[in-house]
Structure 1
Amino acid sequence: MGKKTLVVGASLKAGRYSNLAINKLRNHEHEVVAFGIKPGQVSDVDIDTELLPYEGIDTVTLYLNPRRQSAYYDYIIGLKPKRVIFNPGTENPEFYQLLKDHNIAFEVACTLVLLSTNQY
């Protein structure tokens, strides 16, 4: 199995990028866990509505605008992921600095593009 990924801002709506990312991650055989406001399932992935203490997270991919991210800074840092991906519209220099301070890598990139070009 590939890199265990947490999708933050997961949506049940099929047209949302977070939803597309979950499907594409699963198609590429990555283990996926997801956090969102509404419970449900995308592909074979349950969307959790509580911040769970996931173990072994390689990548956190964000689908929350910068104003909403601050509530999750400590949680994401506490998971000790290897990297955080800031998808288009989620760019957040304040969070970049916090991640740097905790030696967590980050990328300003699109998860869908990274997967499509085998750069994930």
Structure 2
Amino acid sequence: MKTLVLGASEKPERYSNKAIKMLRRYQHEVVAIGNKVGTVEGVEIHKGMVDFKDIHTITLYMNPKNQIPYYDYILNLQPKRVIFNPGTENLELQSLLQRNNIAFEDACTLVLLSTDQYER
């Protein structure tokens, strides 16, 4: 189950960074996009809209305003679901996802992982 962390950061205090580490600890395949290139626990952070294949879940770590340029990108990746972590909730994007039959939830990736509710 491949997860794209969108809004990834090398900064250890960032939740996106913690999510990458926890996803890896739970044996999930992780790819990442951020506003700066870098690496977190062997996961390369790309800059720009990389044409990843077979993305199951996109977990968002960017505010709604910064999500706007990624709308088409997210839809074109055709993930099974999108997780809106706290502070990333976006009714406009959720409406687009719904119209394209892509599941979404307002949740915290870290909590989902630690309570065995991430996989579905």
The two structures have a TM-score, normalised by structure 1, of 0.97
* Residue 51 of structure 2 is aligned to residue 53 of structure 1: yes
Once residues 29 and 106 of structure 2 are traced to their aligned partners in structure 1, the CA distance between those partners, rounded to angstroms, is: 21
1:4 to 2, 5, 16: 2
Which segments of 5 or more consecutive residues in structure 2 lack a partner in the other structure?
Answer: none
Once residues 82 and 28 of structure 1 are traced to their aligned partners in structure 2, the CA distance between those partners, rounded to angstroms, is: 19
1:31 alignment counterpart: 29
Once residues 49 and 95 of structure 1 are traced to their aligned partners in structure 2, the CA distance between those partners, rounded to angstroms, is: 21
SS across alignment from 1:48: strand
Once residues 11 and 83 of structure 2 are traced to their aligned partners in structure 1, the CA distance between those partners, rounded to angstroms, is: 21
Alpha-carbon shift at residue 50 of structure 1 (Å): 2.3
* Residue 59 of structure 2 is aligned to residue 64 of structure 1: no
* Residue 98 of structure 2 is aligned to residue 100 of structure 1: yes
Q: How many residues align?
A: 118
- The residue type paired with residue 19 of structure 2 is A
SS across alignment from 1:38: coil
**Deviation string for 1:95-116 (max 9, x for gaps)?**
1100000000001000000000
The two structures have a TM-score, normalised by structure 2, of 0.97
Alpha-carbon shift at residue 44 of structure 1 (Å): 1.2
Which segments of 5 or more consecutive residues in structure 1 lack a partner in the other structure?
Answer: none
Structure 1: 4+ residue segments shifted above 2 A: none
Once residues 118 and 35 of structure 1 are traced to their aligned partners in structure 2, the CA distance between those partners, rounded to angstroms, is: 25
CA RMSD of aligned residues (A): 0.5
1:76 alignment counterpart: 74
